Amino acid sequence: MELIETPIPDLYVIKNRLFADDRGYFTEAYNRQTFEKAGLKFDFCQDNRSKSSYGVVRGLHFQLNPKSQTKLVSCIQGKVYDVAVDIRQGSPTFGQWYGVELSEENNLQFLIPQGFAHGFSVLSETAVFTYKCDNFYAPELEGGISYDDPSLGIDWHLPADAIIKSEKDSKHPLLKDLKTNFIYNK
């Protein structure tokens, strides 16, 4: 397992070793000791899974303190473009985003810490996406940013007329109107 730093502090892409042969493959998706050796300590307590069709954009979502969530995400079937946006007040990278393609083929994961909004777009016919979270879902604390906020300029790797979003995701505010309680602590 290799932890790859991104240009945004605290945001990591994880490259898992894949042991493949003619029977299939094996990979270690999470190892607490490996994370702790890198100074990353999380108490993951909930695993989620979603299935979506081509063109679906989910996000950009977050959960506020005191029940914010670190997420370790992966695409176990199909292909997605996954994005995290830094929404920590005082962060030198506030409002910046980083995206990575996650797929069954590349076996990558994305570690998105508390203080980031998260979303993904489905690039394959269907995709099965997993989320390992370090806090339980708290609907009263959920929030979001508009996926098409022009100040972010996120390229979702989809034609605009192919994008499918939920009614709820259509109502998220722009970054400039966002109110959060995330504070950068470095």
Q: Give the three-class secondary structure for 92.
A: coil
3-state secondary structure labels for all residues of 2-14: EEEECCCCCCEEE
Burial 8-43 (b: 16+ CB within 10 A, else e): bebbbbbebeeeeeeeeeeeeebeeeebeeeebebe
Those residues whose C-beta lies under 8 Å from the C-beta of residue 24, and which sit 6 or more positions away, are: none
Residue 95 CA to residue 62 CA, distance in Å, equals 14
Catalytic residues: 61, 131
**The two structure tokens encoding residue 141:** 């604390």
Q: For 92, how many CA atoms within 13 A lie in the half-sphere containing its CB? A: 5
**The two structure tokens encoding residue 81:** 């473009």
150, 49 contact by CB (below 8 A): no
